[in-house]
Structure 1
Amino acid sequence: MNDKEFGQRIRQLREQINLTREQFCGDEVELSVRQLIRIETGSSKPTLSKIQYIATRLGMTLYELMPDYVKLPDRYSKLKFEVLRTPTYENTDLIEKRNRLMEEIYDHYYDDLPEEEQIAIDAFQSFVDIYETKSVHFGKAILDDYFEQVHRKDKFTVNDLLIVRLYLEHLQDEDRTSPRFQHFLDIIQHFPVQVEAIDSNELFILRDVMLASIGILGTKECYDYIPPIFDTLDQIMVQTHDFQKKPILNLLKWKYVLYTNSDREEAQKLYEEAVMFAKLIGDDHLVAKLEESWKGDSTGKV
């Protein structure tokens, strides 16, 4: 069954139970009317989660609705996982590695991916483009089409988190009283419950979004929101036994205690621990970055 045939089947089944698209999609948190239109016309390939939602709304099992569903290619899933797990820290070799992985995704898998996966990949690439060019024009169309749906959710998928990560980049010049910034504050309230909602192998994506969120909160001087995020990040690292980003977490903690409590002694301890962890994972480039940042913080006026 190709995409057009599948879309026609969904439309026929929906019309048989006398539901309009608006009625079928309900609050549009799981499936928007615009997404349903694209699926029914065969212009968009739905993900497994979308197919499951549609089947449930139709009163069917997934395999009754689409018995020949094919899961995402294993190689694509591995590439996506590796891209998201590759920290670059402005390291040229790591940046080149990430770019090669992304190139393989776009060259060999992108065109056949479900729409939700394509949007997630494009959101990540837009984030990279913003970071490299310092221009926030990238990814605006993605946010216009998809962020509101994510914002209304209590629990996020990995792909939702990639859209949130892109959204953070568009908040750099946003005033803290703006509606867009308030949406961000709404979202971070849901971070702690995501620890149980997301597969443990994918918690590193939530971790990275939370680390970026602390940077935004610090820049906007919204310090009261930061301690609960620190606690959740500590929980994730202990739960997953993954301390790859421990140096970055410590960097953010030392800046927090310096700029909110002027506690240089505690900041020094956090700095030394950050360097120790960076050395343990063998990242000399990160060690140099930490030392450079500490030099600026410890000699500057707090």
Structure 2
Amino acid sequence: MKSFGSKVKALRKEKGMSQEELCEDQSELSVRQLIRIEGGKTAPSLSKMQFIAKRLNVPLPSLVDSEDVELPFRYKELKYLIMRTPTYRQEQQVRQINEYFNEIHSEFFENLPEDEKVAIEVLQTSMDIHLDEDVNFGGELVEESFQQIQLKKKYELNDLLIIRLYFFYIYFSNFQDDLFELSIVKQLCEHLKKQAQFTYPSDLFLLRDILLQAITILIELEEYEEAGDIINRTREIIKMTQDYQKQPILDMMEWKLILAYHNNRRAAEAKYNEALLFSRVVGNQHLEEQLIIEWKKDSL
């Protein structure tokens, strides 16, 4: 990938472009990232390569060899297994995910593009925060990764992973950390509601899960109307993908909203019974147990 950086640098200078001009508003590529790419110190992701080629008005193949563009199939498989395997804080599931991480680090990590290295760190940190409810080791990574996300309106897969980490971080820090701003949360939610049209069908499960996080946060912050909008959007995604694995969790979010915003116990209990029935139909005993615990807490 050193040849890619040197080609970009030479062509940029030939066209009389500064690094700032090439990076435009820095929402897709920061000047710092470009400096590292041109110096051969980091391997860019495919999306960054495409952005650079577009800004230089040249076809991507003229800048890079095809074998440098494609990520290893096994790496992509492991990454998706990590994202798609729910832990439910069960030891066996956590152990399996850690084995996936170990394989990535031993076989692929050193040669990954910088964006992918960050994505793996974000996935690991998100899992650690979720399992331990401890944000002491997450703040620096959130701060480093999140700034560029705020400039975007359309998100790629790795952007969604960073947003998920941000939501974990502010929730488990009880909204007390300096990184929490209600205006940022609302801005992200506004963009996330429109994100399905920009997301590959295979990645919609991640968008769905992030929207579920957003609902939890908005209810906690008493932003009830916004939470209701996102519940409706999440339901549309579940119906669109025909993936009903998280339907009971969405029902749980809805009963919590009904109790908090409408104070209607009968309607909330109907949603609870729907969630319980669905978890039994799919045979998810752990989720069924968690729903019972949550309903008892909400019924006090």
Shorter-chain TM band: over 0.9
Correspondence list, 1:110-149, <5 A: 110-149=109-148
Amino acid at match of 1:51: M
1:94 aligns with 2:96: no
Any conservation in 2 of the 1:165–1:209 contact (CA below 8 Å)? yes
Aligned to 1:79: 78
Aligned to 1:201: 202
Any conservation in 1 of the 2:143–2:179 contact (CA below 8 Å)? no
- Distance in 2 (CA, whole Å) between partners of 1:215 and 1:55 is 40
Aligned to 1:55: 53
- Distance in 2 (CA, whole Å) between partners of 1:177 and 1:30 is 25
Aligned to 1:28: 26
Correspondence list, 1:1-302, <5 A: 3-68=1-66, 69-172=68-171, 173-174=174-175, 180-298=181-299, 300=300
For the residue of structure 1 that corresponds to 2:194, the secondary structure is helix
Any conservation in 2 of the 1:91–1:285 contact (CA below 8 Å)? no
Give the Å deviation of 1:120.
1.1
- Distance in 2 (CA, whole Å) between partners of 1:288 and 1:140 is 32
* Unpaired runs of at least 5, structure 1: none
Give the Å deviation of 1:274.
0.9
Go from structure 1 to structure 2 and tell me whether the alpha carbon gap of 1:266 and 1:196 turns closer, same or farther (over 3 Å shift): same
Amino acid at match of 2:122: A
Give the Å deviation of 1:239.
0.4
Amino acid at match of 2:24: G
For the residue of structure 1 that corresponds to 2:147, the secondary structure is helix
CA distances 1:11-32 after superposition (whole Å, capped 9, x unpaired):
1111111111111101001111
Deviates more, 1:285-294 or 1:125-134: 125-134
Any conservation in 2 of the 1:247–1:277 contact (CA below 8 Å)? yes
Any conservation in 2 of the 1:258–1:264 contact (CA below 8 Å)? yes
For the residue of structure 2 that corresponds to 1:171, the secondary structure is helix
Give the Å deviation of 1:41.
1.1
- Distance in 2 (CA, whole Å) between partners of 1:39 and 1:178 is 28
Amino acid at match of 1:210: L
- Distance in 1 (CA, whole Å) between partners of 2:64 and 2:178 is 47
For the residue of structure 2 that corresponds to 1:189, the secondary structure is helix
Amino acid at match of 1:256: L
- Distance in 2 (CA, whole Å) between partners of 1:80 and 1:107 is 14
- Distance in 2 (CA, whole Å) between partners of 1:10 and 1:137 is 39
* Unpaired runs of at least 5, structure 2: none
For the residue of structure 1 that corresponds to 2:236, the secondary structure is helix
Any conservation in 1 of the 2:126–2:168 contact (CA below 8 Å)? yes
For the residue of structure 2 that corresponds to 1:170, the secondary structure is helix
- Distance in 2 (CA, whole Å) between partners of 1:66 and 1:287 is 51
